[in-house]
Structure 1
């Protein structure tokens, strides 16, 4: 699995576990909802700054968004 796919799965899983909609997460991270959707579908690769903003908005470590699950 590519890192982009790993990130996408972790982003969706963490967002849903926090009970957040894509729109709410986008608002908290100051991003566009359609960008969140694209990230969750592995269309885009986030910059390190975006990973940081999303992890802060989710209340997790940035590494949690990049960890592969085996």
Structure 2
């Protein structure tokens, strides 16, 4: 599993743990739910600034988003 896959898996898992839908999360981040879905399926990689927004919205250290479980 490469880093993009790890990130995608962690984002989806943590978002679900926080009880947020893709639509809610996308709204918080200011992106489309379609783009968020592409990130969570590891089709695209988010920018560093968007990665920071994910961390803030999910209340996690950015490092946790790219750590293998």
Same fold (TM over 0.5): yes
Give the TM-score, by structure 2 length. Answer: 0.94
Give the TM-score, by structure 1 length. Answer: 0.93
Structure 1 residue ranges (4+ consecutive) displaced by more than 3 angstroms after TM superposition:
none
Please list every run of 5 or more consecutive structure 1 residues that lacks an aligned counterpart in the other structure: none
Contact 1:7 1:66 in 2 (8 A): yes
Counterpart-to-counterpart distance in 2, 1:48 and 1:60: 15
Tell which deviates more after alignment, 26-35 or 9-18. 26-35
1:61 corresponds to = 61
Q: Alignment length, in residue pairs?
A: 69
Give the aligned CA root-mean-square deviation in angstroms: 0.7
Matches for 1:1-16 after TM superposition, within 5 Å: 1-16=1-16
